[in-house]
Structure 1
Amino acid sequence: MKGFLVAGTASGVGKTTVTLALIAAMRRRGLIVQPFKGGPDFLDTGHLTRMAGRAARNLDTWMLPLSANKAVLREASKGADVFVVEGMMGLFDGKDGVTKTGSSAEIAKLLQLPVVLVLDAAKSARSIAAVVLGFEQFDPKLPLAGVILNRAASERHFKMLKSAITSSCKTPVLGWLPHDASIAIPERHLGLQAAEESSDDNLGRQTDTLACLAENSLNLDALLSLPCGFDFGETSLVIPETGMPAVRIGVARDQAFSFYYEDNLDLLRKHGAEIVPFSPIADLELPEGLDALYLGGGYPEVYAEQLSGNRSMLHSMRQFAASDRPIYAECGGMIYLSRQLTNLNGSSYGMAGILPFSSEMTGKLEKFGYVTVNLTHDCVLGASGTVLRGHSFHYSRIAEMPNLPTSYRVRYSLSDQQEEEGYRFGNVLVSYIHFHFRTAPHIAQRFVELTRLLKSEEFTTA
C-alpha cells in the first residue's frame, strides 16, 4: 500500500490545507484514502474525516507504544488504496526541545514513512533553500521524500523558489499551492473551527476547490509513487469475544462535544459496548436504556447558551447521575457537568450541576502538554498503581478548587509540575486530561466491565 507523512517546518504553515487538498484530489481519482493525524489532536482529525469519508485515526509515539501505533495504522488502512498522515507542529517538534520523542520525525522513522515537507512560501525568496537544506542535514537518517511550497504568490514565484531549492538541495520539489482565502479554515482559541460546525454545502465547495488546486499544482503521480516501508503483513491485536451482553454507553457528540479518539470508541465496542450518540444541544433527554456516559471535550463555551437553555437535557443528566451509573468526562465534558460556566465577557450559564464546582474561561492556555498519570485510586479507567499517558490542552479552569477525592497523580512533561487530579464524585470521574485508550490495553475493557458489573448489581437488587 502507498502512503506518506505530510510534515511542516512549524505550526501554521498549512499542513492541514495541503493534506486536505491531497485527499480531495486522490478521491477525485477514485482512490480510497485513509487519513491519520500525528499527535494529540481532535480538530484536524475531524476535517480529515470529512474530507476522506473515513474516520481519521491518531498516531502518537509518546502516548502509545510502537505496537499500538502499528496496530492503528494497519487496522484503519484495511480496504484503502493509500493512507496519508498529517504531522503535528514542526517536523522535529515533540515532547521537549532536546529529543525527537513524540515528534512527526519519530513517527516517520519508526513506521518507515516517506516524509513530504510543507513550507510557507508567502514571503520567501532564495533563503527558502537554506531552510530546506537545514531540514535535510538536521537528521540525515530521515531522508525527505519531497517538498511542497504553500501560499506561493504565483506560478512565477513558485518557479523561482523551486530553482533556488533544486540548485542547493537534494529533496525534490513536488509542487505548490497558492494563497487562497476561500480554502482557509476559520480558527479560534483551541485551533481550527470544528468540522462539525461546517455545512455540507461548504464542504462540497471546499473539496472541489482543493481538488482542482492539487491537480493543477501538485505532482500527485510522484506522491503516489513514494516508497513506503511500513509492513502491513504483521498480525494485529485480536480481542476475543466475551459472550457477555452488551452495555449501552451514551457518547455526547454534536457541535459542542467532538473531541474523541475514534480508537477509544472502537475499543469500547470491541469489549462489548454499544456506542449510543446523543446531542446535549439538540436532544431533549438522554437516550433510553443507557448504562454509562462518556463526555469528551469540545467547545461548550461557544455553545454555553444553548447547552444551558436545554433544561430538559440538564434534568435528564442529573437523573442519570443520581442513579449511580458511571459517568466519565474529559475537559469540556467536565465543564458541562459543573455548576456553571463563566465566559470571558463575564456572562455565566448554568450547567448540569452534577459536580460541586463551577468553571470559567481564562483566555490563555492552562497546563498544556503531555502528561503522565499514576492512578492513586481504583476508578473506571483502571486499578490503583496503573500508569497512563495523556495530554492536557484547555483555556479554562475550575473556579473554586473542590474538596473532592482524586484518582490521579499528574506530572506535566513540559513543566515537570505535579498535582492531584481526576476528581471523583460518586460514580462520576472527571478530569482535564485526555486519554488515548490504547495507551494501556485495559482501559476500555475496565470501563465496559465495570459498567456491566454495576448494571448486573442494579438488576439483582431491583
Structure 2
Amino acid sequence: MSGSGIPRIVVAGTASGVGKTTTVVALTRALRARGLEVATFKCGPDYLDPTFHARASGAPCHNLDGWMMGREAVVGTFTRASRGADVALIEGVMGLFDGASADTDDGSAAQVARWLGAPVLAVVDASGMARTIAAIGHGLASFHPEVRVVGLWANRVGSRGHLELLQRACVGTGTPVVGGFPERPELAFPERHLGLVTAQEGGLPPERLEGWGALAPEWCDVDGVLRLAASAGALDGTVPEASVHRAVAPVCRIAVARDEAFHFYYEDNLRRLEALGAELVPFSPVRDGALPPEVHALYLGGGYPEAHAEALARNAPMREAVRAFARAGGPVYAECGGMMYLAQALRTLDGRMHEMVGLVPGVAVMAPRLQALGYVEVETTRRTVLGGAGLRFRGHQFRYSTLEGAPSDGGALRVRRRRGDSTHQEGYGPDNVLASYVHAHWASNPLAAEGFVRSACAFHEGAR
C-alpha cells in the first residue's frame, strides 16, 4: 500500500513507563500473525525501543523526531519506510504532549500525529484506577484540536473484570478502551542504565516476543485497533518525500561498527549515506581482528562500550587497525560510545582502567548517575570530516560518562543545549577524526552526510 494512505496509528502514553513498547510489540506480532506487513516507527531520539519493534516486525524501525528532523523529513521518512506495508504503528515518546518544550508540542508524539494525520491510541497505567480513566481520555482528546485521540489502552489491569470495568466507564465517551494487559513479569523486557537492553543483545528472547503476541488477541480488540488505524485518511501530498533511496553504484565503502558494544544508529542516517553512494560494511570492534578490506571511512556509533570494555581492550589488533587507519588519513566519525572507544582509556564503575584506541585525548569515566540528557544544536568551528566550518545540525545527548583530561576549549564543535541555552566546546581528535558525545540526526542538515561521503571519496581517491 502507498505510504500516503496507509492505515496508521500513534501508540502514545500518558507518561513514560506505561508500557508503550510492550503494546506496540504485542500488536505488531498479533497483526503479523494475521498475515499483515507492519511498518514500525518510534517518536523521539530513542535507539533501544526501535530494536524491539524491528525484531517484532522483521523490518527496520525508523525514528520520527519533529525537533531534530522537521516536518518534511518526518513525513518523507514515514512515506518511504511504510511503502508496501499494510499498517503502520508509531510508538510515542514520554507522554503524548511531552517534547522539547513545556509550552509547545515541538518534538512530541502529538506533533508527529498532527503531521501524519494519524489517530492516537493513548496508553494508560490503569493500576488502581476505575472511572477516572474516562476523565483521562476526555482530557487527552480535548486538549489539542488537531490531535485526534480515538482510544485508550489500559495496562497493568488487575484482572479481566478490571479491564471490563474500565471499558464500561468509557462507553459513549468517544475514547473507548480497546484493550490492555495485566502484569506479566515472566514476559518483562530486561533493562539497564540507558533503558531497555537492546533486542539485538538477546533482550527480547523469542518466547517473550511470541508471548506478548499471543496475549494481544486475548486482551484486546485487534479488529478495533485496525479500524482506528484505517480512519487516518490520506497524507498531505504537498510534502515531498525525502530523497534517501539507495544509489545505483557505490562510490566509497564506509565501515560501520555493529556488534554488542556499538549499535546506536538512526536508520535515516544510514540510508542517507547509501543514497549518496556509500556501501556500508559492518565490522565488530569486539570480535574482528582487522577492519574490512578497502574501506574509506569509519563510522562508530553509540552503544555500551562500558559493558564490553574488557573485550574491547583485549582486542589489541583491532585497536591498532583503527589507529593505523586514522594515521593514514582515513576519515573517522564517532558518536558517544564510539568516542569513548577512541579515547585513551575507559574507566568502568568498578574503577578498572581499560586501554582504548587513543585517538581522542582523555579518559572516558563512567558515573553512577546520568551526566547529560537532552537535545542539542551543533555548529562546527573548523573543517571536519562532515564538511567546512559553520556547518549546523541537531542532535541529542544521553550519557552516563564524562571525558576527563580532554581540552576544555578548542573542540571542533560548539554545542548548545536545548534546555538552559548553555554552550560548550567538544569534538575531539586530529583533523580527519571527529568524535563527540552528540548523536546527530542528519535530516536536520543533509550536508553533514554529504560531507562525510565526500571525505570518504577523497581518501579513496588519494589512496589509489
**TM-score using structure 2 length:** 0.94
Q: 2:202 aligns with which of 198, 201, 206?
A: 198
For residue 192 of structure 2, the aligned residue among 173, 188, 191 is 188
Rounded to whole Å, the distance in 1 between the matches of 2:234 and 2:65 is 16
Among 142, 146, 151, the residue aligned to 2:147 = 142
Instruction: Indicate the residue corresponding to 1:457 in structure 2.
Output: 462
**Contact 1:404/1:425, CA 8 A, preserved across alignment:** no
Q: Which of residues 376, 386, 390 is equivalent to 1:385?
A: 390
1:429 aligns to what SS in structure 2?
strand
Q: Distance in 1 between matches of 2:408 and 2:451?
A: 26
The answer as to whether partners of 1:111 and 1:229 remain within 8 angstroms in 2 is no
| Contact in 2 for aligned 1:344/1:361 (Cα 8 Å) | yes
Name 1:216's counterpart in structure 2. 218
- Give secondary structure in 2 for the equivalent of 1:50: helix
**1:280-291 maps to which residues of 2 (within 5 A)?**
280-291=285-296
Residues 293 and 328 in structure 1, CA contact (< 8 A), matched pair in contact too: yes
Which region of structure 1 is more displaced relative to structure 2, 395-404 or 383-392?
Answer: 395-404
Instruction: Provide the rounded CA distance (Å) in 2 between the counterparts of 1:290 and 1:66.
Output: 34
CA distance in 2, matches of 1:230, 1:301: 46
> Retained in 2: the 8 A contact 1:50–1:195?
yes
Counterparts of 1:425 and 1:82, CA distance in 2: 47
Matched residues, percent identical? Answer: 43
1:112 CA drift (Å): 0.7
Hey, what's the Cα distance between the residues in 2 that align with 1:458 and 1:404?
A: 33
C-alpha displacement at 1:175, in angstroms?
1.1
CA offset at residue 140 of structure 1?
Answer: 3.7
Structure 2 partner of 1:176: 180
- Structure 2 unpaired stretches of 5+: 1-5
Structure 1 window deviating more from structure 2 (383-392 vs 11-20): it is 383-392
For 1:40, the equivalent position in structure 2 comes to 45
Question: What residue is the counterpart of 1:411 in the other structure?
Answer: 416
Deviations 1:140-196 (A, max 9, x none): 4322111010111110111122223337x3311111111101221111111110111
Normalising by structure 1, what TM-score? 0.94
Secondary structure of residue in 2 paired with 1:58 = strand
Q: Which whole-Å deviations, capped at 9, do the CAs of 1:96-136 have from their partners, x for residues lacking one?
A: 21211111011101211110000011232333333223222
**Cα–Cα, structure 1 residues 386 and 218, in superposed 2: closer, same or farther, change >3 Å?**
same
List aligned pairs for 1:360-375, cutoff 5 A.
360-375=365-380
Q: Which residue of 2 aligns with 1:71?
A: 76
Give the deviation of 1:286 after TM superposition.
1.1
Q: Kindly tell me: are residues 244 and 404 of structure 1, through their superposed partners in 2, closer, same or farther at Cα, counting changes over 3 Å?
A: farther
Q: 1:225 aligns with which of 224, 227, 230?
A: 227
- CA shift, 1:284, in A, is 1.5
2:353 match: 348
SS in 2 for 1:141: coil
Could you tell me whether the CA contact under 8 Å between 1:372 and 1:410 is conserved in 2? yes
| Deviation (angstroms), 1:272 | 0.9
Q: Partners in 2 of 1:241 and 1:74 — Cα distance?
A: 16
Question: The residue matched to 2:233 in structure 1 has which SS?
Answer: coil
One of 435, 443, 446 as aligned partner of 1:438: 443
Are the counterparts in 2 of residues 404 and 423 from structure 1 also a CA contact under 8 Å? no
Opposite residue 215 of structure 1, the aligned amino acid is P
Letter in 2 for 1:288: P
Name the stretch that deviates more: 228-237 or 326-335: 228-237
Report the CA distance shift for 1:239/1:83 in structure 2 as closer, same or farther (over 3 A): closer
d(CA) in 1 for partners of 2:390, 2:406 = 25
Residue type matched to 1:347 in 2?
Answer: R
**Which residue of the partner structure matches residue 57 of structure 2?**
52
- Taking only aligned residues, the RMSD between alpha carbons, in angstroms, comes to 1.9
Q: Secondary structure at the match of 1:452?
A: helix
Q: For the residues of structure 2 that align with 1:58 and 1:373, how far apart are their CA atoms?
A: 20
One-letter identity of the residue aligned with 1:37: K
CA distance in 2, matches of 1:78, 1:240: 12
Whether the 8 Å CA contact 1:338–1:352 is kept in 2: the answer is: yes
Counterpart of 1:90 (choices 64, 87, 95) is 95
Post-superposition shift, 1:385? 1.9
Distance in 1 (CA, whole Å) between partners of 2:441 and 2:137 is 34
Could you say if the C-alpha distance between residues 80 and 396 of structure 1 is closer, same or farther in structure 2, counting changes exceeding 3 Å?
same
The CA distance in 1 between the partners of 2:234 and 2:300, in whole Å, is 35
What is the CA distance between 1:239 and its match in structure 2? 6.5
Residue identity in the other structure for 1:284 = G
User: Residues 195 and 358 of structure 1: is their aligned pair in 2 closer, same or farther, counting only changes over 3 Å?
Assistant: same
Query: 1:255 is matched with which residue: 230, 251, 260?
Result: 260
| Greater than 6 Å deviation, 4+ residue runs | 239-244
Q: Distance in 2 between matches of 1:240 and 1:186?
A: 35
Contact map agreement 2:11 2:91 (CA 8 A) in 1: yes
Q: Distance in 1 between matches of 2:158 and 2:48?
A: 28
- 5+ residue gaps, structure 1, are none
Instruction: Give the whole-Å Cα distance in 1 for the aligned partners of 2:449 and 2:414.
Output: 20
For 2:304 and 2:149, locate their aligned partners in 1 and report how far apart those are by CA, in whole Å. 37
CA distance in 2, matches of 1:242, 1:37: 26
Sort the Cα spacing of 1:11 and 1:194 in 2 relative to 1 into closer, same or farther, 3 A: same
Q: Partner letter of residue 170 of structure 1?
A: G
Query: Which residue identity does 2:202 align to in structure 1?
Result: S
